[in-house]
Structure 1
């Protein structure tokens, strides 16, 4: 059995198509509050990958994206950042960003 591909900056930069990368932490209240709107928004875009990254002390990937607050959503198209949303408060802002990945 082969190990899963590690999710690092190089891996994300090489992905093709649309990807929404969610940086956060399980214990983060803001992250927990945003889960319903994130899930509803991404449900309308089954062709866009959703990658959850557990961020925190000692995690280098978040630093490569200059993550300062959780949750932060990074929208990538062919590995290039198209949009960024910090602490999304409504589904519409997420849906608008996802539409840019089409």
Structure 2
């Protein structure tokens, strides 16, 4: 399920994220970030091919503990999780293919779903 709206101001805790079941994409960034705005069409194009993925857009910045726990340094950063464990990361995607690689890594991870194979 892809969210097309802006980045959420509130985030789950790291413990909640670690307990997620299935495939999840965490997207860290901000609504005012030019890189984030420029990447949205690429992210949307790739994730539209896997609508069953949980996609969470989370505002990041100083004092935001979830982004710090994943050592996010640049925006947007997409963290691809399978059952709460990171299996891939894409930083500042310049095309949909970069995001596709993260989705493919989710499918290849143990417990991966054939429904998200590319």
Q: Aligned residues, how many?
A: 97
Structure 1 residue ranges (4+ consecutive) displaced by more than 4 angstroms after TM superposition: none
- State the match for 2:98 in structure 1: 93
1:63 aligns with 2:40: no
- State the match for 1:3 in structure 2: none
Q: TM-score, normalised by structure 2?
A: 0.79
Write out per-residue CA displacement over residues 57-87 of structure 1, whole angstroms, 9 at most, x where no aligned residue. 2111110000100000000001000001111
List aligned pairs for 1:25-40, cutoff 5 A: 25-40=30-45
Structure 1 spans left out of the alignment, 5+ residues: 1-5
Tell me the distance in 2 between the aligned counterparts of 1:71 and 1:35.
Answer: 9
Structure 2 spans left out of the alignment, 5+ residues: 1-10, 108-118
Q: TM-score, normalised by structure 1?
A: 0.91
